[in-house]
Amino acid sequence: MSKRISAFLILAFALFGTQSWAATCFSEGEVPSCTNTFSPTNTTNTYEFFGDGRLIVQFDTVLTTFTLTVTVNHTIDPRDPNEFPPGTVCVTYDTNGLQCDEYDFSGNKSGPNGVPVKNIDYKRLITLTLRYQTSQPINNPAFGHAPGDNATAVYRENILTGYSTFPASSPSPSPSPTLTLTSSPTADPTMIGKLPGLSSVAALDEPLTENDSYCWVSPAMEGQTFTVGQEIEVSFRLFPSGPCVANSGTPIRDKTASLSLSTVDLTTGNTVFPPLRNKEEGNKFHWDHKDGVNEFDLSTEGLAPGTYTITVFGSKFPPQSRDVTLLP
């Protein structure tokens, strides 16, 4: 994406806005920074940094009116090794010269760095949705959060609650004799996380604890169709090594694997994560010992017809995605 953005493109982004994304600020350059205003009637805003990602900030409830500034910093705060293991790296963005991005918050309220204060300026949690472009192979995605003052913050928390790769990172129908265990050459990942207060965040990548062979069982193929309300069994087998077909090894359980469901809002172009109705503990899979599969029963009740991406990620294999289509 070129950093030279025409007025036409900016107008186009503005026209795509809806009440859900009430305002968008735009910024580019050496130190991108932009400001939006939040109020009780305007709880969600978008920060568009051309070449440095798109960050959406959404409050559950806003009590006062305040401004919130997000500034991109290419110097990433240190990481706590008790939370992020050695080998954890920041994600480099293709469109900013292969630099990492940290997002620092400031404002006109009384919290650290001037950010709003929970139960005074807003209630409950804040949802952050971050989209960026990268060709960096992703092992185990993490949404790093560095609580505290911007000048002394250390990444101590992984706030990741959902992750999506677009396009899908493993589009081949299953079963397949070989596996592609890295992300697509150029992807637009989106990650979502929730946190109680605002301070620096960044897209991180943790090393794998193992590098196992991931084998889709269900959905059986890319683009498989279902009807709204139909339960989708999402399942996979995991082997220490070898191909998916005629693997003589014993399938293993992955207690760390998580599932995300996402779709693209055709009005805004944003990746959104609809809530899971039958959300299992931490979006985790359960183990079917008899069949040797990791399973998740995905409800589609209440979802609109369209194309959705199922993304499975964990500490033993790189993220795996499969698109499904929901019919009325």
| DSSP classification of residue 15 | H
Report d(CA 272, CA 309) in Å as an integer.
10
Token pair 């798109």 in the structure block, residue: 54
Token pair 């009440």 in the structure block, residue: 19
Contact assessment for residue 220 and residue 176, using Cβ atoms and an 8 Å cutoff:
no
Exposed e or buried b per residue across 220-232, where buried means at least 16 C-beta atoms within 10 angstroms of its C-beta: eebeeebeeeeeb
213-327 CATH choice from 2.60.40.10, 3.40.50.300, 3.30.930.10, 3.50.50.60:
2.60.40.10
Token pair 């293993």 in the structure block, residue: 252
Residue 90's SS3 state is: strand
Report d(CA 91, CA 277) in Å as an integer.
31
pTM across the whole model: 0.85
Cis, bond preceding 328 (omega within 30 deg of 0) = no
Report d(CA 247, CA 215) in Å as an integer.
10
Query: Which pLDDT value is given to residue 116?
Result: 97
Contact assessment for residue 308 and residue 134, using Cβ atoms and an 8 Å cutoff:
no
Averages of pLDDT over each 10 residues, the chain, 328 residues:
34 37 73 94 95 95 97 93 95 90 95 95 97 92 91 91 71 35 57 95 95 94 94 95 90 92 88 78 83 94 94 94 95
